[in-house]
């Protein structure tokens, strides 16, 4: 069984206006979602471009490989590439000189056979 109840003119007017506003809001929301999708696409293009330039710079400048799972990122002021890399082992300032034994026969003009000066 179906029941129909007649609304008062004020309630009918309110309902019509509310349904109309819902329709308008729904249309605005759909348009906004379209804009969001367009903006997301532009963001993805820019992110890809930045990542490609970072990779090109890393390779051209021979920067060390970042740690596993890491990558270089732009600094907040976009002046630096920042990344975590493995520690470089310390290199001694000077390698110790090799010790070479020179026979006495070759030192300060010594006699080659006896080693006497």
Torsion of CA 106, 107, 111, 113, to 10 degrees: -40
Structure tokens at 32: 């906004």
Q: How many structural domains compose the chain?
A: 1
Q: Is residue 50 part of a domain?
A: yes
**Residue 93, in any domain of the structure:** yes
**The domain containing residue 93 runs over which residues?**
9-106
Cβ-contact 72, 58 below 8 angstroms:
yes
Q: Does residue 51 sit within a domain?
A: yes
Contact criterion met (CB below 8 Å) for 55 and 71: no
How far apart, in whole angstroms, are the C-alpha atoms of residue 75 and residue 83? 10
pLDDT tens digit at each of 117 positions of the chain: 998 999 999 999 999 999 999 999 999 999 999 999 999 999 999 999 999 999 999 999 989 888 888 888 889 998 999 988 888 776 655 555 555 565 555 555 555 555 555
What pTM does this model have? 0.54
94 domain-assigned:
yes
Q: Does some domain include residue 4?
A: no
Please report whether residue 115 resides in a domain: no
- Those residues whose C-beta lies under 8 Å from the C-beta of residue 84, and which sit 6 or more positions away, are 66, 67, 70
């Amino acid at each position: 069984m179906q029941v129909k109840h007649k609304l008062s003119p004020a309630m009918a007017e309110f309902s019509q206006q509310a349904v109309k506003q819902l329709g308008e809001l729904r249309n605005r929301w759909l348009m906004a979602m379209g804009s969001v999708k367009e903006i997301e696409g532009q963001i993805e293009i820019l992110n890809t471009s930045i990542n490609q330039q970072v990779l090109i710079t890393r390779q051209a400048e021979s920067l060390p490989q970042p740690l596993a799972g890491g990558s270089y990122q732009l600094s907040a002021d976009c002046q630096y590439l920042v990344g975590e890399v493995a520690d470089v082992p310390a290199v001694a300032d000077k390698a110790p000189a090799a010790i070479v034994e020179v026979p006495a026969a070759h030192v300060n003009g010594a006699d080659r056979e006896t080693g006497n000066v």
